[in-house]
Structure 1
Amino acid sequence: MRSRRSAVAVGLAAALSLPAAAQDMMRHVDLSSPEMAQAETTREAVEAMIAAAAGQPLDLSGKRLSGLDLSGLDLAQANLRLARLNRAKLRGTDLTGATLDQAWALEADFTGAKLGGASLFAMQGRGAVLVKADLSRARLVADLTGSDLTGARLREARGGADMRNQSMGLIRAVLISVKLDGADLSGADLSRGKLDFASLKGADLSGANLTGADLSGADLTGARLAGATLTGADVSGARLVRLVGAEAAHGLDAVVNGDRARRD
């Protein structure tokens, strides 16, 4: 069984090493398989591991934790790289500084979770619930398509594409059709991010970097934009209504498809 798990982990890691596949893994993996849908342990066993660790970070890399209720546990600094957390409950869980790189967290519930400074590089989190979660300064180069981040804190989150390496430039925050109503994204780097059809009503984007981001069809009604940079952002069909601090934003006159946006 160990060799089977190792083979799966190696296979996933190999696939994720390819830039184009890193955020489009859905077609490569059987999500109904035990490896993806069933847990290999229990909450009680994880609690025992936390107790035995005596304050040291847990190594849960590659573990199958799908469907478990891990709400409220202390998993700060834990290594969850390549872990499977599909439909797991992590409500209020402390994941401060945790590593969730290449993890699977489809439809996982992170309501109120602490993810400050965590790394979510290439994490697959489509349909996840992160209502009022704290992702401040998190590395948010993840696929959160269709997720709910209402009221979440993403201050200084790092979701921009790394254009120093063109192959890595294909990997960026994917926030398609997400709910970010009332979220705090002040100072966040979402440059070249995918936010098409996202709901950003009343969101705080003060000082955020949205250079080259795809905001087509997004709803920014009442969003705060003071100090934000939108140069090259695609706003085709976007609702730019009742914006706050737009006069102090940068690059609003250099967006793409500005004539196709809905304005006051």
Structure 2
Amino acid sequence: MGKAAAAAAFAVALIVPAVGFAAELSDIEVARLLAAADRSKPIDLTGRDLSYLDLAGLDFKAARLDRANLHAVDFAGADLSHARLAGAHLDRSTVQRTNFAGADLRGASLLRLSVTTELDLNPKAAGEAPNFAGADLSGARIFARMVGANLRGADLTGARLGNYRLTVIELHPHTFLEMADLSGARLRGAELYGVRFAWAKFIGADLSGADLTGADLTGADFTGADVTGTKFDGADLAQAVFRDMKGLDRAIGLDRALNRDRIVR
């Protein structure tokens, strides 16, 4: 598939919900399977269609959900820590206070997630964010408002969080990660252009080769971060903290960033 076709398919996925498919199991059946499961012997729901189910508050006990269709599932308050979700489709799922700590989400699709109805930068919104601490999100596609999300130590190598520069989605053109904690995260080669990272923490993060073109980095803390080859073209750096960083002399586009005179060094 060419780049243009892939971009068009991505745009359609953002706007058009999956229809015409019925879940293979009911929410009650899934709840019973999980109740009988054990973390040492997790249930295997690989490739299953669980779309539109209400699974809020359930403990998945490290379940295997690789390549599962989890479109529009309600995971609010659910425990998916250390679950296997590689290649899974979680588009339009509700993930308020969902625990994905240590989960395997490699190549997963997390588009249009429902996280909060609160206004951005509202403390209540931050309190409803999901927990992705230590999760493997390498190669994942993420397009959501996750103010205050915990991504400490997460692997976002090659992940795509940017706005993809598609005019068809301009009504909601950005991923919002204001006040998110990405300390120690790996974001090598990640596509982050246009992402709203105001007041986020990148302390000790590896951003080498990442694309932050046009990102809002107001007040973001990059203390100790590796920005070798990182692109900052058009990014807003007002009050961003640039201290003890690695590879700063090899960062790209700093001379074309906004408010670079207001960087805190």
Residues 48-90 of structure 1 show CA distances to partners (whole Å, capped at 9, x for unaligned) of 9xx9x98751111111011000131000001111110001000
What is the Cα deviation at residue 45 of structure 1? 3.0
Give the structure 2 partner of residue 114 of structure 1.
Answer: 104
1:44 aligns with 2:32: yes
Contact residue 45 and residue 68 of structure 2 kept, 8 A: no
Alpha-carbon distance change, 259 to 40 in structure 1, aligned in 2, over 3 angstroms: farther
* Secondary structure class of the residue paired with 2:111: coil
Give me the whole-angstrom Cα distance separating, in 2, the residues matched to 1:206 and 1:188: 9
What is the distance in 2 between the residues matched to 1:238 and 1:56? Answer: 42
Q: Is the 8 A contact 1:151 1:184 kept in 2?
A: yes
Q: How does 1:2-151 map to 2 (within 5 A)?
A: 17=15, 42-45=30-33, 57-125=47-115, 126-151=128-153
Q: For residue 196 of structure 1, what is the aligned residue in structure 2?
A: 198
| Native 8 Å contact 1:182 1:203 kept in 2 | yes
Deviation by residue 1:150-186 (Cα, 9 ceiling, x = unmatched): 1000000001102132534733321111110000001
**Which moved further from structure 2: 189-198 or 116-125?**
116-125
| Cα distance between partner residues in 1 of 2:218 and 2:242 | 11
Q: Which amino acid aligns with 2:167?
A: N
- Structure 1 residues 247 and 150, CA gap change in structure 2 (3 angstroms): same
Q: 1:163 touches 1:169 (CA, 8 Å); kept in 2?
A: no
2:177 corresponds, among 168, 175, 181, to 175
**TM-score, length of structure 2 as denominator length:** 0.79
Matched to 1:145, the amino acid is V
Tell me: CA distance 1:259–1:165, structure 2 relative to 1, closer, same or farther (3 Å).
same
1:257 and 2:259 correspond: yes
Q: Secondary structure at the match of 1:121?
A: strand
Unaligned 5+ segments in structure 1 are 1-15, 19-38
| Superposed displacement of residue 128, structure 1 | 0.9
Distance in 1 (alpha carbons) for counterparts of 2:48 and 2:207: 34
- Tell me which amino acid in the other structure corresponds to 1:76: D
Separation of aligned partners in 2, 1:229 and 1:195:
15
Q: Does residue 1:209 correspond to 2:211, yes or no? A: yes
Aligned length: 227
Corresponding position of 1:231: 233
Greater shift after overlay, 139-148 or 192-201?
139-148
Identity %: 38
Residue 24 of structure 2 corresponds to none
Partner deviation per Cα, 1:232-259 (whole Å, 9 max, x = no partner): 0001111111111011110111111111
Distance 1:122 1:232 in 2: 25
For the aligned residue pairs, the C-alpha RMSD in angstroms reads: 2.5
* CA deviations over 1:82-134 (Å, ceiling 9, x no partner): 11000100010000000010111011011100000000011124511111000
> C-alpha distance in 2, partners of 1:196/1:234?
9
Alignment TM-score, normalising by the size of structure 1: 0.80
> Given that residues 156 and 188 in structure 1 are in contact (C-alpha distance below 8 angstroms), is that contact kept between their aligned partners in structure 2?
yes
Matched, 1:244 2:226: no
> In the alignment, is the contact (CA less than 8 A) between 1:150 and 1:181 conserved in 2?
yes
Task: List per-residue Cα deviations over 1:215-235 (Å, max 9, x = no partner).
Answer: 001111111000110000001
Instruction: Name the aligned partner's letter for residue 137 of structure 2.
Output: L
1:4-34: CA deviations, max 9, x gaps? xxxxxxxxxxxx849xxxxxxxxxxxxxxxx
Secondary structure at the residue paired with 1:117? coil
| SS at 2:109 equivalent | coil
What are structure 2's unaligned runs of at least 5 residues? 1-13, 17-26, 116-127
